[in-house]
Amino acid sequence: MDILLKVKIFCTLAIVLGLICAKHVACSRHRQYHPGRKMSSGDNNNEDLVTSFPGQPHADFQHFAGYVTVNETNGRALFYWFYEAITNPQEKPLVLWLNGGPGCSSVGYGATQEIGPFLVDSDGQGLKYNNFSWNREANVLFVESPVGVGFSYSNTTSDYEHLGDDLTANDAYNFLHKWFLKFPSYRTRTFYIAGESYAGKYVPELAELIVDRNMEPSLHIDLKGILLGNPETSDAEDWMGIVDYAWSHAVISDETHREIRESCDFKSSNPWINQTCCDAVDELLAQYHKIDMYSLYTPVCFATAARSNDQSTKSVMSYKRTLKMMPRIMGGFDPCLDDYATAFYNRPDVQKALHASDGHSLKNWSICNYKIFNNWEDSKPSVIPIYKKLISAGLRIWVYSGDTDGRVPVLSTRYSLSTLNLRITKPWRPWYHEKEVSGWFQEYEGLTFATFRGAGHDVPSFKPSGSLAFFSSFLLGQSPPETK
């Protein structure tokens, strides 16, 4: 106790002297947050304010968590976690972050493993401070969507049987307007939507709803742009990118690649009626199953190998012939991050602090709901037509790809974006971060595409500092840094 007391005293002095306590990991993990700043003018959210989050490092900003009911009749409610910007939250934009799956948690991935200020520690029991959290540049809102994901729920059982893109977009749209009732000072704030993976469908679909309904002044949301990481975009091009990337990165043989190229018509309504195609794609998936498809060059998590083996094989074999999607296997630089998050969010004190439960009647939280994935009813084969609509509406669209991801590889995104036939305004060139080439980018009329060198599917997990710099450029509407 004496050592801990000395650490706390040191941290307090460091703050007084203007030092940055977050750099001192030993102290930051032991200091609890005590809200000292008033809420934004006009907002009344004392019931959602998080005041004693277990293991939370010191923070000079407020965060809120709780539920927003999106359908009163059926009792559908989405769980959110909102972080105010670290400095000047009243002046900075609002960004909504969505993860995909479909069926995976934005709290478990985006908030806890990637861009949130508090990352789950390697023992699944504590938190560590993220020095590259995106709430350094914006107010960031995470939502577990649709119902059935994470803590989000419905009181009507049949809701879980009819989940798909359209319902998800409409619920997310209703969520925003009802969330603004809780936080009215953000209603007219500059707004962006960001996400990754299957959120490559969610984000444009929600943006389209906003653009369409903004014609009614009372419903106006000041949406300025969307940011998409390793996004599922167009099924035919995505699949061909998966195949060509696996071959070009020596995951499959020349023979398997040739068989897929010759027998699979990914542009048809059902490419899986061809048995030769099915067998060849099964071979591709079997080879990827031996490594982490989401990060080709990092280790797998042996702690969950048996569980992943059983779950993933069944899902792939039963699903690729219907919706042309594959289940999430694992993402992030640390291959066991999913397990740490699961352990953390199933703690009674954590659920109570986040207002997800009373601390006694616990919710069974999982990072991905495979039942949602397997029962997904409505998936648009392509959101390229929506891209065209959003570009015409003047929205800023940035797309980025971690170039070591095999699930939605850089080739998939390049193939998909090429169908837009946009005029190039700035040709292919490197962009820099910390004096190193961080990736390459190209600008088009209405769209920017960039790569992250050496990053897997969840780019901020691999390149936290670089992704924050990239995010800052996006918000400013400036090209990524082009010089050392």
The structure tokens listed for 176 are 């925003």
Report d(CA 444, CA 427) in Å as an integer. Answer: 8
Report d(CA 42, CA 51) in Å as an integer. Answer: 20
List Cα–Cα distances, 25 to 104, 189, 287, 322, in angstroms: 30, 34, 40, 48
Report d(CA 304, CA 163) in Å as an integer. Answer: 28
**145, 412, 457, 461: which is the annotated catalytic residue?**
457
Report d(CA 338, CA 445) in Å as an integer. Answer: 38
**355, 405, 458, 473: which is the annotated catalytic residue?**
405
> Cα-flanking dihedrals φ and ψ of residue 28, to 5°?
-65, -25
**133, 154, 197, 412: which is the annotated catalytic residue?**
197
What angle do the packed helices 235-248 and 254-263 form, to 10 degrees?
160
Examine the residue annotation and report whether 457 is marked as an active-site residue of this protein.
yes
Examine the residue annotation and report whether 405 is marked as an active-site residue of this protein.
yes
User: What type of residue is 1?
Assistant: M
The catalytic residues are 197, 405, 457
